[in-house]
Amino acid sequence: MPDINLKERLINKLKEINDPALLEEISNLFELQEPETIYQLTPQQKKEIEAAQVEIKNNQTFDATQADKEADEWLSE
């Protein structure tokens, strides 16, 4: 069972927030919890995902350390 005091504290905090950007972010967090969310991808997004899947299949990936190194090298050019 959820902690009622926690719910009440959260509700009270939400009532005090006047920052539209922060409220939007909180709203986005709530929406992420919705199991019914369906994302509509553009044809370009689908193409990029398919290309990434091929790269993964062909072991053309970097781990985080390699990716950081590549990014640092690119940024220093």
Q: How distant, in Å, are the alpha carbons of 5, 26, 64, 76 from that of 67? A: 44, 31, 5, 14
Give the number of domains in the chain.
Answer: 2
Residue 13 CA to residue 19 CA, distance in Å, equals 12
How sure is the predictor about 4, in pLDDT bands with cuts at 50, 70 and 90? confident
How is residue 57 written in tokens?
Answer: 């299949």
pTM of the predicted model as reported, rounded to 2 decimal places? 0.42
Q: Are residues 1 and 33 in the same domain?
A: yes
How is residue 72 written in tokens?
Answer: 């640092």
14 in Cβ contact with 26 (< 8 Å): yes
45 in Cβ contact with 51 (< 8 Å): no
| pLDDT tens-digit series, residues 19-73 | 999 998 888 888 765 566 678 899 999 999 999 999 999 999 888 999 899 899 9
Q: Are residues 28 and 6 in the same domain?
A: yes
List the domain range (segments joined by +) for residue 58.
Answer: 43-76
Give pLDDT, residue 36: 65
